Structure 1
Amino acid sequence: MEKTRLVFAGHDLKFASLIINHLEKTNKFEIRLDHWSGHNTHDEQKSIECLNWADVIICEWGLGNAVWYSQRKLPHQKLIVRMHRQELDTVYPTQFINENINVFIAISPFIYEEFYRIFKLPRDKTRMIYNVLDASKLDKPKINAKYNLGIIGIAPKMKRLDLALDLLEKLWMTDHNYKLFVKGKKPEEYPWLWRKDTEREYYEELYLRIERAPWKSAVIFDGFGEIDEWLQKIGFVLSTSDFESFHLAPSEGMASGAIPLILKWDGSETIYKEEYLYDDIDAFANRIIEINKMESSSALRKEVKEYARHQFDIKQIGKQWEELIDELLESK
């Protein structure tokens, strides 16, 4: 049987990598990647080659890539645009040729509604499919994780590292065993961010706070890289952001058996259970102390693993993508 020719196009394909791998393994698709160098910059000759070759085009992010492909899509082709949150702060969705886009994917119910509210993207073309993780890869035995907090990604400042430090300080004052492990690039490793005075000054103040704190040695910056082994030492995964579109980090932690603590942001309740959402850092601290007083937290950890596997695992989400593409190919 002839394989469907599928192009993924975008400047950042990391959130789509599991979907790409899943579709490749079905042996139903031949896949090419059109890597863009920025939101609106690319090798146009490469994009033209991909356009002329493809049966189905998937634009990861609705930015300049989606504008370009929606302006050029051929009549026999199907075009899918997957939207996150970043696009809400751009003009790109106003430049789409909507009649040439077959499906818009929103990664959460709240984002679905926001794209309709702001850009009036057609509801009859919009689907909601959650972000995705590999639950089996993340499910590894915990190692001395009881007192270890983890936060994945601390840039830009809306990720609110300051609140994670507040939490550590509260807990450390009750028990010096508590530690905060920070996963991901440091803010100074993002040149675009470090050039912004408000961002740089925010982190410089936090670094000074850590340096002067009695709990200085309890903050560990672990750098960028794979997180499956890193999560083995994490007992509690934090989401302290002011806002998010989905925030994959707590769900990845959950898949490992880490207890999620998520500060409520608009739409968080459409992705995560109410019992994982909190109003403030004091509530975080009280819950962590409560759990660590339990004789065993294994039942709680099993519960969050099952939730992550059921809601976000590639086996479930990948099947939804397969069904969507099959449906499009069967339609006229």
Structure 2
Amino acid sequence: MKGPLEPVLRRVTSPAVVRHRAAARLLRGLAAVPVLPTPARVTLARRLRAGMSRAGWSPDESRAALAAVARSVDVDTRADLLMQEATGELKAGRTPGHLVAAVAAELAAADAAYAKGDRPGAARRLHRALRAQFHRVLHFDQLTSPLADDPAAFLAPLRDSAVGRVLLAPRGRSRPAAPPPTDRPLRLLVLTNGNDHFLREIRDRYAHHPDVEFRYLHLTEDPEADQLIRRPDALAADPVLGGSEYGRQVERWLRPHLDWADTLFVDWAVATAAMVTLVDPGDTRIVLRLHSFEAFSFWPHLIDFTRVDDVVFVSEHLRDFAAEVAPALVGPHAPRLHVLSNAMDLRAFPLPKEASARFTLGLVGISAVAKDPRWAVEVLRLLRAEDDRYRLLLVGDGLNRDAGEGVRQYADALDADLAELEPTGAVVRVGQVSDVPKALTGIGVILSTSVRESFHCAVVEGAASGAVPVVRDWPFFASRPHGAHSLFPADWVVRTPAEAAARILDVTADEERWRATGEAAAAHAIATWDWTVVRRGFDALFGVDTPPVG
């Protein structure tokens, strides 16, 4: 703040003053005194908190200055103060201690704007609250998530706010979806703007199915749609505004596709899904597949599930968690919920393994903090304390340090582990491979060390190759009725690195036992999750039971 108070503020928030706890507490109280102009109080609070942090005060104590001011200023200033500080903490890779208060303050300011008729202002604050509440630091760049810990408490500010209720209000559809045609092929349109890796078998089957007329569109390949999916702010604003030019643009782009399709299948519950439900679908049937990432993002809160007929999940635990995050998935007006495994052709994976693979652990996919490769390193250390023939292969691209401070911190810790183990050959980083079945011939034990997964294709592919599966009971879901412990056979699943090491030592004690255990895992994986099995569920979903020609 510039002006006559500037020299005073600079002196009273100097390190020499702030280091003295009595003086700092006095300043904390002064910051909330209404006789000071609001800008002066805000500036004092910010400088005081920064000085207290540098002087070694605990985060809770240094936040008290902000809290004191936040209680004594108008709703907009309170929101700006708390949200700016929360944003700073998130940028530094930390979970703000006052995150819930900051989000609630921002939504209170949005409610106030909405009550005054300032809908654009309300929409802007709503979007800012959503960005903070679902910031990647909270749910993706660390090994825990406040949303997973207590969905109801974490989402309470959004659900309790007037603007949040407007956003989440069901709009429904003008008429129900029409039944599949009986006099012509089903017109099936597949839309996505996410990773299309999970669509390969689905596209191939229905593009060549005699009872299906098939179209596929990745929205990033359509110039107009590519611009529309890059506007989460506009998607969040449209319900608050009561309609918008953006919504009309989506309607103009989407309507011809809806008019053609009998069934529209949207893969990934992200921008494309939110755009589709911004529009009344008429009698077109809408099917949506929700993976895992989306449940920890703001996207489900921008999707009107009353305009969706069927939602597909790849596991029961993901279905259960998504229903807690998005209550519109249950109830009298909810879509039908299905659990269908990912489409995987597992028949290419059973290849001969060298005897030396018995002592080689494999972790396929290490590009996310949630994969927690350091857990695999801990297992390896326990094994090598018994037998130094064990080694670990890390397959895939490493962590992207530029993604955020939290990722960088985890990557630094992992690098410190590997600097000790790589020189001896105990750990080998393979990088991205184009031929996964071939890479798996050198792996005798396939690991899943993640804190959360929706299904984990890599461990199922490893099992199909004849590697012995060792699956951590993913902590995000371990205490729930469904999780890794219900998805996989009981002997695959462990809770701790010690349990993992014990299982590995047991099944690799001799070559015959190791091979027999791997063969049993391969038989189970192929019989349960191969596309020849799973495709029957998709045929039933789309209503095309006739097998394709050939």
2:289 matched residue in structure 1 = 82
2:207 is equivalent to residue 24 of structure 1: yes
Q: After superposition, where does 1:194-233 map in structure 2 within 5 Å?
A: 194-213=402-421, 216-224=424-432, 225-233=434-442
1:138 matched residue in structure 2 = 349
Tell me the secondary structure at the aligned position of residue 200 of structure 1: helix
Q: After superposition, where does 1:305-320 map in structure 2 within 5 Å?
A: 305-320=522-537
The range that moved more, 274-283 or 10-19, is 10-19
Q: After superposition, where does 1:39-188 map in structure 2 within 5 Å?
A: 40-41=229-230, 50-72=257-279, 74-120=281-327, 121-122=329-330, 125-143=336-354, 144-188=356-400
Tell me the secondary structure at the aligned position of residue 57 of structure 1: strand
2:195 is equivalent to residue 12 of structure 1: yes
Equivalenced residues, count: 324
2:504 matched residue in structure 1 = 288
The change in CA–CA distance for 1:302 and 1:60 in structure 2 (over 3 A counts) is: same
The change in CA–CA distance for 1:22 and 1:182 in structure 2 (over 3 A counts) is: farther
Higher relative contact order (CA 8 A, sep 6+): 1
The change in CA–CA distance for 1:129 and 1:154 in structure 2 (over 3 A counts) is: same
AA aligned opposite 1:200: R
Q: Mind listing any 5+ residue stretches in structure 2 that lack a counterpart?
A: 1-182, 221-225, 232-248, 478-482, 546-550
Tell me the secondary structure at the aligned position of residue 293 of structure 1: coil
2:516 matched residue in structure 1 = 299
Match of residue 276, structure 1, among 492, 495, 504: 492
TM-score in terms of structure 1 length: 0.88
Tell me the secondary structure at the aligned position of residue 221 of structure 1: strand
Deviation string 1:200-237 (CA, Å, 9 cap, x unpaired) is 12212322332233764232222223311111111101
The change in CA–CA distance for 1:53 and 1:195 in structure 2 (over 3 A counts) is: same
The change in CA–CA distance for 1:98 and 1:149 in structure 2 (over 3 A counts) is: same
2:456 is equivalent to residue 247 of structure 1: yes
Q: CA deviation at 1:149?
A: 0.7
1:321 matched residue in structure 2 = 538
Q: Distance in 1 between matches of 2:313 and 2:422?
A: 44
CA contact (8 A) 2:370 2:450 kept: yes
Deviation string 1:266-314 (CA, Å, 9 cap, x unpaired) is 1112211111110111111121111121351332122111211122110
The range that moved more, 117-126 or 38-47, is 38-47
The change in CA–CA distance for 1:176 and 1:156 in structure 2 (over 3 A counts) is: same
Tell me the secondary structure at the aligned position of residue 145 of structure 1: helix
Deviation string 1:57-91 (CA, Å, 9 cap, x unpaired) is 11111112111112335423211000112222223
The range that moved more, 140-149 or 42-51, is 42-51
Q: Distance in 2 between matches of 1:222 and 1:8?
A: 34
Q: Distance in 2 between matches of 1:124 and 1:206?
A: 43
The change in CA–CA distance for 1:208 and 1:118 in structure 2 (over 3 A counts) is: closer
Backbone CA RMSD of aligned residues: 2.6
Q: Distance in 2 between matches of 1:324 and 1:214?
A: 48
AA aligned opposite 1:168: L
The change in CA–CA distance for 1:66 and 1:202 in structure 2 (over 3 A counts) is: same
Deviation string 1:121-180 (CA, Å, 9 cap, x unpaired) is 036611111223212011222234211111011122121111111222222343333221
Q: Distance in 1 between matches of 2:506 and 2:277?
A: 52
The range that moved more, 164-173 or 128-137, is 164-173
AA aligned opposite 2:339: M
Q: Distance in 1 between matches of 2:449 and 2:533?
A: 27
CA contact (8 A) 2:189 2:261 kept: yes
The range that moved more, 33-42 or 265-274, is 33-42
Q: Distance in 2 between matches of 1:181 and 1:295?
A: 20
Q: CA deviation at 1:46?
A: 7.3
Tell me the secondary structure at the aligned position of residue 26 of structure 1: coil
The range that moved more, 166-175 or 310-319, is 166-175
Tell me the secondary structure at the aligned position of residue 134 of structure 1: coil
CA contact (8 A) 2:358 2:511 kept: no
CA contact (8 A) 1:172 1:215 kept: no
CA contact (8 A) 1:19 1:314 kept: no
Match of residue 236, structure 1, among 415, 439, 445: 445
TM-score in terms of structure 2 length: 0.55
Structure with bigger helix share is: 2
2:80 matched residue in structure 1 = none
The change in CA–CA distance for 1:221 and 1:77 in structure 2 (over 3 A counts) is: same
CA contact (8 A) 1:254 1:308 kept: yes
Q: Distance in 2 between matches of 1:218 and 1:212?
A: 9
The range that moved more, 257-266 or 215-224, is 215-224
The change in CA–CA distance for 1:153 and 1:294 in structure 2 (over 3 A counts) is: same
Could you say which structure has the larger radius of gyration? 2
Structure with bigger strand share is: 1
